[in-house]
Amino acid sequence: MSGELPIIDISDLKNGVDPALVARQIHDACINVGFFYIMEHGISEGLQTDLENASKEFFQLTESEKMAIRMELAGKAWRGYFPVGNELTSGKPDLKEGIYFGEQLPDDDERVTSGMPLHGQNLFPERPSQLRSVVLRYIDEMTQLGHTLMRGISLSFGRDPDFMHRIYTSDPLVLFRIFHYPAQKKQSMDQWGVGEHTDYGLLTILKQDDAGGLQVKSRHGWIDAPPVEGTFICNIGDMLDRLTGGYYRSTPHRVLNTSGRGRLSYPFFFDPGMHAVLKPIAIDSRESIEDDSVSRWDKASVHAFDGTYGDYLLGKVSKVFPELGSGNLGA
């Protein structure tokens, strides 16, 4: 355990020796806190180091160099760089800058030619030149890790291991971010690196540096989720909350960087396809929750929502980046 968050060795899930044991641990983590660390994930230290080095070099560039790949240039694809203060949580600017990436698609891909939001080409800077190859390799390997974890999650709530893949994630929406949080004073509690929120999709797999700052809202209050060597930290999102009828809850979290230096984090989002409709499934004879808005951080119930995952996500995006909302990201 790290605080209240379990550390799960997923090697038996990857090699198929005893996936049920891993699934039971995932189950316990999802019903108790919604966050867990994974070890033996298979993403090489070399690739992670290359990603860290390229990221550090990028964020040391001048503002004009970084703005050469600003998000506005990507239009509906929703990719590229945003400066500090340009991303909002609950209407308040976050104290972070970052780059948005996704699956790299050719211009003649049907999802691109049809104008589907959040699909297209990534924007990469001229330097560091290695950022392109490192990011694309990282996305590919993390996508495979996402599929592996979905097998464990399917088993964890009593379905066959291919349940999630067969119905929701055969063609997942994968989104990857590199965030840089400038150092901030401890007393500045009214200015968060990112404010309290839950993630929108199924599963987030986070790589974080050693600066710390991630906080999770447990049943007993806010707890730290510090970096643990050799692990990633995972958390479930709103769509898994919805799918399980509230049996698995998407847990609020936030970031306050008081390390006295910059903080880098690398969230990878493994989500349903844009056209997926996630209906609650029966788990342990539980009745699904129809409206839990009173207890949620944003007072918006994921169980009262009706529509596709794309509808849900685009509705949220318009609040995070108003300038990329109904104008550039509309279907």
Q: Is the pLDDT of residue 324 over 70?
A: no
pLDDT the model gives residue 321: 67
Q: Is the pLDDT of residue 234 over 60?
A: yes
- pLDDT tier at 299, thresholds 50, 70, 90: low
The residue extents of the domains of the chain are 7-323
Mean pLDDT on 246-261: 91
pLDDT the model gives residue 191: 74
Give per-residue pLDDT as tens, 132-177.
999 999 999 999 999 999 999 999 999 999 999 999 999 999 999 9
Mean pLDDT on 14-23: 95
Give per-residue pLDDT as tens, 164-217.
999 999 999 999 999 999 987 655 556 788 888 899 999 999 999 999 999 999
Name the CATH superfamily housing domain 7-323: B-lactam Antibiotic, Isopenicillin N Synthase; Chain (2.60.120.330)
Give per-residue pLDDT as tens, 82-136.
999 887 776 788 889 999 999 999 999 999 999 888 999 999 999 999 999 999 9
The chain-wide mean pLDDT, for the chain, equals 89
What percent of the chain clears pLDDT 70, i.e. is strictly above it? Answer: 88
pLDDT the model gives residue 99: 98
Q: Is the pLDDT of residue 2 over 50?
A: no
pLDDT the model gives residue 330: 37
pLDDT the model gives residue 1: 40
pLDDT the model gives residue 205: 98
pLDDT the model gives residue 50: 98
Using alpha carbons only, what angle is made at residue 194 by residues 172 and 186, rounded to the nearest 5 degrees? 150
Determine which of 47-51, 94-98, 225-229, 284-288 has the lowest per-residue pLDDT on average. 284-288
* Per-residue H/E/C for the chain: CECCECEEECHHHHHCCCHHHHHHHHHHHHHHCCEEEEECCCCCHHHHHHHHHHHHHHHCCCHHHHHCCEHHHHHHHCCEEECCCCCEECCEECCCEEEEEECECCCCCHHHHCCCCCCECCCCCCCCCCHHHHHHHHHHHHHHHHHHHHHHHHHHCCCCCCHHHHHHHCCCEEEEEEEEECCCCCCCCCCCCEEEECCCCCEEEEEECCCCCEEEEECCEEEECCCCCCEEEEEECHHHHHHCCCCCCCCCEEECCCCCCCEEEEEEEEECCCCCCCCCCCCCCCCCCCCCHHHCCCCCCCCCCCCCHHHHHHHHHHHHCHHHCCCCCCC
Mean pLDDT on 63-71: 97
Q: Is the pLDDT of residue 296 over 70?
A: no
